[in-house]
Structure 1
Amino acid sequence: MLFRRRKIPTRVERLRVAVWPRHSWVRSTRYYGKRVLRLTATPHAIAIGFAAGAFASFTPLIGFHFLLSFALAYVVRGNLIAAALGTSVGNPLTFPLIWASTFKLGGWILRGKAPAPGHVEIHEQFQARLLTKSVDMLLPMLKPMLVGAIPLGLIVGTVSYFIVFKSVEVYQRRRRHSLARKRGLLSDDMNGDIGE
């Protein structure tokens, strides 16, 4: 293989790079931004696909974000690759903020007030159920998170739709103009060569 690494990274190295990029978060964000801009589809399809991925990243269903984003993008006729890139909204830096805000908002929607922190309560439940490993321990946390994920995911999805739509539209317009200019210059050069 031409561009394969000489030393294949181990699973631990790949996990470390997934959590903390080699160079910087700014460079990784810029890279994903360029990947979204360079997709070949309409600006609407790319933007709605990215919005579906951003919405899916707000759900507490870790491990199913890609599948959920693909299903949402398929339903709304969005670009599937943009949906996969949209799930990058949820990353190790933003997940604590996302989970805390969805839990608080979901508790407020369900109970009419924000839930108390309850660190001792959760710790006691964890110790009591450690031996049984019951799913009942997670339901009091997952239910408010799922309820809170819907409005927050819709807000972030809507905002990201407009940002991505405008960015892709401007990028594609500039690209078309530069290609037309290059074609015009090439055809002028070719006509000059033929005339001689």
Structure 2
Amino acid sequence: MLFRRRKQANILERISIWLWPRRSFFRSFRYMSKRVLRIPATPHAVALGLSVGIFSAFTPLYGLHITVAITVGWVFSANIAAAAIGTAFANPLTIPLIFTATYTLGRLILNIDQHFVSISEFLELLNNWNFAGLWLVFLQLSIGSIILGSIAAVLAYMLAFKATKRFHNKRNAKFAMQIGSGQKLKNVKNAKTSNGCLPWL
């Protein structure tokens, strides 16, 4: 294939590109959107898979988002590819925002008397395996992620279902037009042949 990479990227390179694209995040978003629309599945399966992936991106299970999305997507018969793509919602640009929003909401709901834990402090707790201080932060993150993740998942489903259905309708109409044009040309050739004309005239 022309312009194909001589050396294929390994799994680590693919993950790094997934988390931090070599191109701009906007171009990567457009590329992912086109890939979602072209997935050969029903609009419901695609939209459900994408919403499952986005929901898992809100959870504090960092490093396991794809595993969670694929598992939940399989349970609910969602499209697995769309679920995996949806996890890209959690990236270096959005993770700080997601962490802050989910943690703040969880603190407000649980009303726990604890100082605000920053991302760096959270990572330090993980690195030191400080489960005594980690479980409380994780609980607040989980509560906030369930609420915000559910809202984002519902919105993603509605938008993805509408966009995918529109894309499929346009593509089916285009195919029908091409088939109709081919059938019309075939009828013209058959008519000329029956009138004594050569079929290629």
- Fold conserved between structures, TM > 0.5: yes
What is the identity percentage for the equivalent residue pairs of Structure 1 and Structure 2? 37
**1:93-130 residue CA offsets vs partner (Å, 9 max, x unmatched):** 110000111111111111178x64356xx59xx59x98
Root mean square deviation of aligned Cα: 2.8
2:130 is the counterpart of 1:134 = yes
1:42 corresponding residue in structure 2: 42
The separation in 1 between residues aligned to 2:99 and 2:87, in whole angstroms, is 15
Structure exhibiting the larger radius of gyration computed from Cα positions: 2
Q: Give per-residue Cα distances to partners, 1:34-81, cap 9 Å, x unaligned.
A: 111011111111111111111001001012111211222223221111
TM-score by length of 1: 0.83
Report 1:136-151 matches (<5 A).
136-151=132-147
Q: Give unpaired runs (5+ residues) of structure 2.
A: 193-201
Structure 2 CA distance, aligned partners of 1:165 and 1:42? 9
CA change 1:179–1:90 in 2 (3 A) is: same
Q: Residue in 1 aligned with 2:93?
A: 93
Unpaired runs of 5+ residues, structure 1, are none
Letter of the structure 2 residue corresponding to residue 89 of structure 1: F
Question: Could you tell me whether the CA contact under 8 Å between 2:18 and 2:88 is conserved in 1?
Answer: no
Counterpart in the other structure of 2:116: 117
Return the letter of the residue paired with 2:43.
Answer: P
After TM superposition, the score normalised by the length of structure 2 is: 0.81
Q: Structure 1 residues 62 and 68, CA, compared in 2 at 3 Å: closer, same or farther?
A: same
1:190 aligned partner, one-letter code: K
CA–CA distance in 1 between the matches of 2:64 and 2:139?
A: 17
Partner SS for 1:57: helix
Rounded to whole Å, the distance in 2 between the matches of 1:43 and 1:149 is: 26
Aligned to 1:179: 175
Give how far 1:135 is off: 2.7
User: Could you tell me how far apart the structure 1 residues matched to 2:169 and 2:129 are?
Assistant: 55
Distance in 2, matches of 1:189 and 1:34, equals: 33
Task: Please give the alpha-carbon distance, in whole angstroms, between the structure 1 residues aligned to 2:67 and 2:15.
Answer: 21
Q: Name the residue aligned to 2:71.
A: 71
Cα distance in structure 1, aligned partners of 2:37 and 2:100:
31
Deviates more, 1:137-146 or 1:179-188: 137-146
How many Å separate the matches in 1 of 2:12 and 2:132?
A: 32
